[in-house]
Amino acid sequence: MYITPKRFIIINSIFFFILIISVVASLFVGTMPLKIETVLNGKLTVTEKAVLLKLRLPRAITGILVGGSLAIGGVVFQSLLRNPLAEPYILGISSGAATGAIISIILGFSAIPFGLQLSAFLGGLFTIFLVFIISHRENRMNTTILILAGVIINTFFTAVIMFLISITHDERIHHILFWLMGDLSQADFIQIIIVLPIVIFGFFIIFYHFRSLNLINIGEETASQLGVPVEKTKIMLTLVVSLMTGAVVSIAGIIGFIGLIIPHILRIILGGDHRIILPTSFFIGASFLVICDTLSKVITPSTELPVGVITALFGGPFFVYLLRKKRV
C-alpha cells in the first residue's frame, strides 16, 4: 500500500482514536464500575476519585507504554533478523529481567521502593550485555549467533527461575508467579515518569531509521549498496529495542505475544512500509494491552487475572495460525 501524507494522517488518526476508546473504557470498567455522567459532572466520591486517578489512570498509561513498546520491538526484530516469528523477548531479555525480579522478591528487596523494578531492569541489561558479547564477531553482529545466544541465555535463566521458584514456599511464590505472567495492577505515576523518557526516546530513534528498516527488510546487501550502514544500524536498533523491552518488563512483568501478533496483523492490512507500521504498531499494541487488561479485571468476578494470561489466550491461536498458514 502506497502511503501518502494524507493517508498517513488518516490511518494514524483512526488507530489513535481506537486507543483513546480503549483507555476510556478501561477507566470506567472494573470491579467498581464508574458512570461517565458522574465523572463529567464531578460528582465522584472520595473512593471513586482515588480508584480513577490513582489506580486506573496510571494502569492505563502503563498499558500504553508497555503494549506500544513491545509491538514496536516486534516490528524491529522481525525486520532486522528477517525472521517472521521474532519478537522482543527473542534475546532472552525477559528471562534475565525475571531472574533479577525474582531474586529481588526472595531477598526482600521488593519491599524497598522500586527495588523490584530496578533489579528486573538490571537483569535485562545484564542479558543484553551477554548476548552482545557472544554474538559480536569481527566488528559485526552475526544474526544467527545472536538468535542462538538469545535462546541459550533464555534457557539458562529459565532454569535459574525454576530453581528459585522450587526453593520458595511462602507467600512470595504468589508474587513471583503473578509477576511472571504479567501484571499492570502495581502501576503508579512514578514508574511512568521513569519509563516514559526511555519509550519516547526509543520510539523516535527507531522511527528516524524507518527507511533503513525498509531496505534491510529487503536484503542487507541491497541496503548496503544504497548507503545504509547496516551493521551500525542493526547494533543500535537492537540495543534501543532491548533497553525499551527491559524497561517495560521491569514494571509490568512478562507479557507475551504482543510483539509477535501485532506487527503481522498490520503488515497484512497495511503492507511493509515501516513509516506507517511503526506508529500504527504502537497504537494497536497499546490498545490491545489496555483492552486485555480491562478484560482481566472483569472476566472473573472474584479476582483479577494476570494480563499476560489474556494476551496468551489471544496470541496462542494466532501463533498456531502463523505456523500453519505462513502468512507473513
Report pLDDT digits (tens) over 151-199. 899 899 999 988 988 887 777 787 788 788 888 988 889 999 999 999 9
Check: CB of residue 278 under 8 Å from CB of residue 270.
no
Q: What is the dotted CATH code of the domain comprising 5-88+185-325?
A: 1.10.3470.10
Q: Is a pLDDT exceeding 90 seen at residue 15?
A: yes
How far CA 237 is from CA of 80, 204, 232, in Å, comes to 9, 11, 9
Whats the size of the chain, residue-wise?
A: 328
**3-class secondary-structure state, position 137:** strand
Q: How confident is the model at residue 311 (pLDDT cuts 50, 70, 90)?
A: very high
Give the pLDDT score at 326: 57
- The residues, any chain, with a CB within 8 Å of residue 174's CB and separated by 6 or more, are none
- Average pLDDT, integer, range 116-127: 88
Give the pLDDT score at 325: 67
- Average pLDDT, integer, range 77-102: 87
Give the pLDDT score at 159: 92
Give the pLDDT score at 68: 96
- With cell 535485562, the residue in question is 124
* Mean of per-residue pLDDT scores for the chain: 87
Give the pLDDT score at 2: 63
Distance from C-alpha of 309 to C-alpha of 240, rounded to nearest angstrom: 27
Q: Is a pLDDT exceeding 90 seen at residue 86?
A: no
Give the pLDDT score at 138: 66
Distance from C-alpha of 215 to C-alpha of 79, rounded to nearest angstrom: 9
Give the pLDDT score at 328: 46
- Average pLDDT, integer, range 124-134: 87
Of 146, 157, 148, 62, whose CA–CA distance to 100 is shortest? Answer: 157
Q: What percent of the chain is modeled with pLDDT above 90?
A: 34
- Average pLDDT, integer, range 103-112: 80
Q: Is a pLDDT exceeding 60 seen at residue 146?
A: yes
Q: Is 62 left (phi over 0), alpha (psi -120 to 50) or beta?
A: alpha
Give the pLDDT score at 134: 85
Check: CB of residue 218 under 8 Å from CB of residue 57.
no
- Average pLDDT, integer, range 59-86: 91
- The residues, any chain, with a CB within 8 Å of residue 242's CB and separated by 6 or more, are 91, 93, 124, 128
What pTM does this model have? Answer: 0.90
Give the pLDDT score at 77: 92
What is the amino acid identity at position 302? S
- Let me know if 270 is exposed, middle or buried by CB neighbors in 10 A (0-12, 13-18, 19+): middle
Q: How far is CA 57 from the centre of its chain?
A: 19
